[in-house]
Amino acid sequence: MIEEGVDIAGLKVANRLLLGTGGVQSHEVLEKVIEASKASVATVAMRRVSATSKQSILDVLDAHNVTILPNTAGCYSAHEAVLTAEMARDALETDYVKLEVIGDEDTLLPDVNELLRAAEILYDKGFKVFPYTTDDPIIAKRLEQAGCVAVMPLGAPIGSGLGIRNPHNIALIVDSVNVPVILDAGIGTASEAAHAMELGCSGVLIASAITRAQNPPMMAAAMKHAIIAGRNAYLAGRIPRRFRALASSPMDGIANL
């Protein structure tokens, strides 16, 4: 069924797009985004039950055969993240977890010490861990060694839409780990999703860029196309950069006018 996808420890990611549901205005919009992107995986956060919630997001995701990837968003310590992951596993009956351990509420950047500790504990408990991490290649390597099934470096802070601030580091991570690299956070528009794929990422996770776009379903479709374009460009092999021009028309046979 999956024409262009990636399988990460059994998690089948259609079109190499993991959909973040954060910021989506309604379940109706979410349905249209899923249809437009053809996403097969979506993240959810774990929060206190609310008496006012009518329909669960799980019903929407189930109706579209979307696999749920719970996250540990909002956790600031390994202890909180591990407990949240265990509660998500208990509630949703999945071993997959997108591990987030945040260091600071202004930047929402990962606290890599706590992240690594939580990843080790969760691996021992049988989880399949997808860690949201910095663009540091050494930390990515350590997370792989801790048993994570993928690494998810940021392009820029969550929700910033600043694109990939250090593309070389992303390329270094792709080169240095053997698990799939999923670019997570920072993508603002379609060209930046293509950029991630051109750098050799196996996929991208996009939330805000789609859910907070003026037309979320249209942006979802744009992202799908951008990921395909970027992936194909990566596989096709780009030309080397040159300082000066290199004529594409032949130099022989130029008329003497």
Interacting residue ranges for another protein, rule: CB under 8 A: 20-24, 30, 43-49, 51, 53, 56-59, 68-71, 73, 83, 86-88, 90-92, 98, 100, 205, 207
Integer Cα distance of 224 and 222 in angstroms: 5
Annotated catalytic residues are 98
Integer Cα distance of 252 and 242 in angstroms: 22
Provide the minimum distance between the beta carbon of 65 and another protein in the complex, in angstroms, as a whole number: 16
Provide the minimum distance between the beta carbon of 254 and another protein in the complex, in angstroms, as a whole number: 59
Provide the minimum distance between the beta carbon of 232 and another protein in the complex, in angstroms, as a whole number: 27
User: Across 141-231, where does the E strand assignment appear?
Assistant: 152-153, 182-184, 203-206
* Residue 186 exposure: Cα atoms within 13 Å on the Cβ side: 28
Provide the minimum distance between the beta carbon of 239 and another protein in the complex, in angstroms, as a whole number: 37
Give 73 or 201: the residue with its C-beta nearer to another protein.
73
Give 140 or 206: the residue with its C-beta nearer to another protein.
206
Give 61 or 112: the residue with its C-beta nearer to another protein.
61
Integer Cα distance of 97 and 143 in angstroms: 14
Using DSSP, state whether 17 is helix, strand or coil: strand
Q: Nearest to residue 88, comparing CAs of 43, 133, 52, 29? A: 43
Distance between alpha carbon 18 and the CA centroid of its chain, in Å? 6
Strand-pair category, 17-20 with 203-206: parallel
Give 64 or 141: the residue with its C-beta nearer to another protein.
64
Integer Cα distance of 66 and 201 in angstroms: 22
Integer Cα distance of 231 and 191 in angstroms: 12
For residue 14 the two structure tokens come to 């259609």
Give 56 or 113: the residue with its C-beta nearer to another protein.
56
Provide the minimum distance between the beta carbon of 54 and another protein in the complex, in angstroms, as a whole number: 8
